[in-house]
Amino acid sequence: MTTKRLYYDDAFAQEFTAQVLSCEPASAAEATIPAGTVTAETPAGPQAGALWRVKLDRTAFYPTSGGQPHDTGRLGDARVVDVVDEDDEIIHFVDKPIATGSVHGIIDWERRFDHMQQHTGQHVLSAIFHSKFALPTISFHLGSDVCTIDVRGREPTQEILDAAMAAANDVVYADRAVNVKYGSAEQLAAAGVRKTVERSGTLRAIEIETLELQPCGGTHVQRTGQIGTIFVRGVSRIRQDWRVEFACGRRAERLARKDFATLRAVAQRLNCSPQEAVSAAERVVAERDAHYKSSKASIQRIAEIDARAAVQEIQIGADGLRVVAKLFGDGSPEYVQAFAREVAQAENTVALVVHTESGQIFFSQHPWAKKDMNGLLNESLKQFAGKGGGSRDSARGRLADLQRASEFLTFATRALRPS
């Protein structure tokens, strides 16, 4: 039996009385309480999560659809944790069984009113993006913090976002009526509905005076003033479309406060006022870049000096090679890599070094040494867990087991000079 939807004609009905037509245990697959709707009143223990499916002859509970989440509330003394639309029937998922007969329903009004503000605000924003900026809305999502619409077309620049937000808030301040209209698809098309609808029979449409007429089965505020401030927060690319983030009413206030708290926290770290945060951050980043550059130059200079000393300490062997094999317990991997590179500047010299703290391996040779660093690394790593690669003159890798660095280096040194 088709459930009569009381919210179609009275979206402000917070309480209602209805007949319970059926109440059955939900299947295991259905019997999960949706995230965010669990309350302290939901029973704990082995029964937690067990739900019942309730059908009523009429309801004010809105089921999840059209981007707007379902309502929560009570039916008698049972909690309504989910509401879904099954063809023409609305199914209420409740946390305890209820008897057939008459039942009193109460909607969690704060949640529903918030949804109506966001949803009606979306109508206003979408109409403005479409009519003023040729950016039609492809989809809408009402999240727990922010709402988004995906629009299609050119990139909505900051200028467009600001102009759309200002125009949307003008509609709010003009406090225009939001009316429900019924008619056939032809009648609605004649009245100026933008979207073509393929459903037959009587359709429901929402009219925002002088702004738009759209087929919609959702719940809306009565006048645009009830939407409250519309706050457009930003945009990001999403496949071929643009995802515009926004929030209305108390959410807009909450988000603006949260965003400012973030800015204040950043300013506190930078020891400045929120107004100075951007220039202070620019200064810090510039300083960091300068320090990075100068420390890189210092590392290079130290590596050159150390490499020269290390090369002088090692005698050329009978095979004409000089091999500098070394474990580094401290210093940075950047230093160790520079050291290996600098050692290999000396004729016929090979550097085999491991940074024991990170397990990073650097093999480098002077081209006249005529060995194969990539081959040596791969051969050695076969015996020890790790990975890496490179070219004939230079290869780098990483040892998985840091405890075996010394063993690894001994193995590689022997493999380089098979006796």
Nearer to Zn ion, 141 or 326 (CB): 141
Instruction: Name the one range near Zn ion by CB under 5 A: 89-97, 128-136, 214-222, 262-270.
Output: 214-222
Q: Nearer to Zn ion by C-beta: 107 or 213?
A: 213
Neighbour-count burial of 381, counting CB atoms closer than 10 A to its CB (0-12 exposed, 13-18 middle, 19+ buried): buried
- Beta bridge partner(s), residue 15: 106
Q: How far is the CB of 122 from Zn ion (least distance, A)?
A: 7
DSSP-derived 3-state class of residue 154 = coil
Residue 275's alpha-carbon distances to 208, 264, 288, in angstroms, are 39, 9, 22
Letters for 110-149 (x = contact with Zn ion by CB under 5 A, - = none) are: ----------------------------------------
Q: Does 67 bind Zn ion (CB under 5 A)?
A: no
What are phi and psi for residue 409, nearest 5 degrees?
-65, -40
Name 166's Cβ contacts closer than 8 Å, sequence gap at least 6: none
As measured in angstroms, the least distance from the Cβ of 206 to Zn ion is 5
Provide the 8-state DSSP code for 77.
T
Q: Would you say 9 or 259 has its CB closer to Zn ion?
A: 9
Q: How far is the CB of 172 from Zn ion (least distance, A)?
A: 16
Residue number, 158 or 179, with CB nearest to Zn ion: 179
Asked whether position 73 contacts Zn ion by CB under 5 A, the answer is no
Of the two residues 212 and 245, which places its CB atom closer to Zn ion in the complex? Answer: 212
CB of 47 to Zn ion, least distance (A): 37
What SS3 state is found at 3?
coil
Q: Tell me, what amino acid is at 412?
A: A
Q: What are phi and psi of 264, to 5 degrees?
A: -65, -40
Amino acid at 315: Q
User: What b/e sequence results for 183-199 when a residue is b if at least 16 CB atoms lie within 10 Å of its CB, and e otherwise?
Assistant: bebeebeeeebeeeeee
- The type of residue at 328 is F
The window from 4-12, 140-148, 175-183, 212-220 that contacts Zn ion (CB under 5 A) reads: 212-220
3-state secondary structure of 246: strand
Closer to Zn ion at the Cβ: 188 or 311? Answer: 188
The residues facing 235 across adjacent strands are 244
218 binds Zn ion (CB under 5 A): yes
CB of 136 to Zn ion, least distance (A): 16
What track of x and - describes contact with Zn ion for positions 232 through 261 (by CB under 5 A)?
------------------------------
User: How far apart are the C-alpha atoms of 107 and 61, rounded to whole Å?
Assistant: 7
Residue 216 binds Zn ion (CB under 5 A): yes
Tell me whether residue 130 or residue 341 sits nearer to Zn ion (CB atom): 130
Smallest separation (angstroms) from Zn ion to the CB of 160: 23
Q: How far is the CB of 120 from Zn ion (least distance, A)?
A: 7
CB 16 within 8 A of CB 109: no
- Alpha helix (H) residue ranges in 148-276: 158-173, 185-191, 249-269
In the complex, the smallest distance separating the C-beta of residue 218 from Zn ion, rounded to whole angstroms, is 4
DSSP 287-324: HHHHHHHHHHHHHHHHHHHHHHHHHHHSPP-TTS-EEE
Which of 3/118 has CB closer to Zn ion?
A: 118
**Nearest CA-CA partner of 220 in 267, 274, 255, 181:** 181
Q: Give 176 or 341: the residue with its C-beta nearer to Zn ion.
A: 176
The count of residues interacting with Zn ion (CB under 5 A) is 3
The 192-211 site mask, x for binding Zn ion (CB under 5 A), equals --------------x-----
**Contacts (CB under 5 A) with Zn ion, residues 26-45:** none
Closest distance between Zn ion and the C-beta of residue 66, in Å? 7
In the bound state with Zn ion, the residue whose beta carbon lies nearer, of 142 and 399, is 142
Minimum CB distance to Zn ion, residue 248 (Å): 13
User: What is the C-alpha separation between 185 and 230, in angstroms, rounded?
Assistant: 31
User: Does 388 participate in binding Zn ion (rule CB under 5 A)?
Assistant: no
Contacts with Zn ion by CB under 5 A lie at 206, 216, 218
